[in-house]
Amino acid sequence: MTNAPAIWFEFAVAVGVTILSALLVRGARAIALKKILLDLPNDRSSHVIPVPRLGGVGLVVALMIGAIAIIRAMLMTPLLAVFSGGLVVLFVLGLIDDLKPLSSVTRLLVHFVVAAMFVAEAFGSGGHAHLGVSTLSAILTVIWIVGVLNIYNFMDGIDGIAGTQALVAGVAWFALATAEQAPLAAGLGLVTASAALGFLFLNWPPARIFMGDAGSTVLGYIFATLPILVRFEAPSPPPLARLLAEAALVVWPFLVDGTFTIARRLLRGENPLRAHRSHVYQRLVISGLSHRIVTSVYGAAALLGALLAWGVEQQWIYGSAAAIVMPLVVFAVLWWWAAHREAAAETPHA
């Protein structure tokens, strides 16, 4: 990729995106209050008072404007065009779902189409020779994209958690993509983090606005596709498996909690697509911990994942082993913590 923007330009864009996101989210909140577009508390929610939604609109619009600035400073490619188109489709779909809930089948169908189009462009006729990816790998990558964007959406259930994860993961991708000499992907990671930071001004506990599907699915899509964008852009493409491992690490609290909970619900014969409050982070809140504490814990876990991803990127001798063991150990501790608090709450006091 040629004509990479100067670092000062990327940071100037990042500052502008942060400010714009904060302003647009505040505007979205005013509109939601005026139109009475509120998330009302129910037996599956983690809040107790009505909270405006549509915060994802401000976040994503600011993100898109920042992305346009980064892309214009470089070179638009067919893959970037498909990536951008998929982002817009997911944003519109999520916004519609926020205003008038769609069926899970409809949402999944669109998710698979968006993911398949992106992978077809990346691994197809033009990109296949460049990336050297098999058909099976392409199919698994489609499943990866759909899985990540849905799990990210599932995990957006308490104040600040999705925005904090996006802030950490976006900064991590700025560092990882820069190390691979992929400035456009680095810029996209930076503006994503900046938009999330602006959103957090009104979403940090206690939240005054929620993100909604319009924001969470777009963020999941970005973090699922960034490793492919890096591999396509890097002058010496690193192994796809390594990039996907790094992608998983920077959002591991979401992926592990989400996957664990889905598997647990399936084993119990429950519908994993139906709203619930059985994620470990939700159980911690139900047990009496505040949204601020749980979000901070998951943010710290995400930061650990980012550091582990950097170790994998730098190919440190113990990096791969730590990347596998540490997230599992930390999640086991989180699960034990939730179970211990639940058991303590059920134990009668003398």
Give the number of other Cβ atoms within 10 Å of residue 8's Cβ.
Answer: 8
Nearest to 97 by CA among 144, 51, 56: 56
**Total domains present in the chain:** 1
* 52 bridge partner residues: 38
65-91 pLDDT, tens digit each: 999 999 887 777 899 999 999 999 999
pLDDT of the residue at 1: 46
Query: Does 42 reside within a domain?
Result: yes
Nearest to 301 by CA among 332, 276, 277: 332
pTM of the full predicted structure? 0.93
Query: Does 310 reside within a domain?
Result: no
pLDDT along the chain (350 residues), means of 10: 71 96 97 91 71 94 96 84 97 96 95 97 64 80 97 95 98 97 95 98 96 97 97 91 96 97 91 82 95 98 97 86 92 97 75
The residue assigned the tokens 């973090």 is: 223
With 0-12 / 13-18 / 19 or more C-beta atoms within 10 angstroms meaning exposed / middle / buried, residue 38 is middle
Query: Does 192 reside within a domain?
Result: yes
What single string gives the DSSP state of each residue in 48-111?
SS-EE--HHHHHHHHHHHHHHHHHHTS---HHHHHHHHHHHHHHHHHHHHHHSPPPHHHHHHHH
pLDDT of the residue at 42: 66
Query: Does 185 reside within a domain?
Result: yes
| 293/284 Cα distance (integer angstroms) | 9
pLDDT of the residue at 277: 83
Query: Does 289 reside within a domain?
Result: no
Establish whether the linkage from the previous residue to 206 is cis, with ω within 30° of 0.
yes
User: Which amino acid is present at 349?
Assistant: H
Q: Which residue range(s) make up the domain with 169?
A: 7-251
Query: Does 238 reside within a domain?
Result: yes
Query: Does 137 reside within a domain?
Result: yes
pLDDT of the residue at 350: 40
Give the number of other Cβ atoms within 10 Å of residue 205's Cβ.
Answer: 16
Using an 8 Å Cβ cutoff, are 57 and 28 in contact? yes
| 280/239 Cα distance (integer angstroms) | 33
Query: Does 341 reside within a domain?
Result: no
| 140/76 Cα distance (integer angstroms) | 26
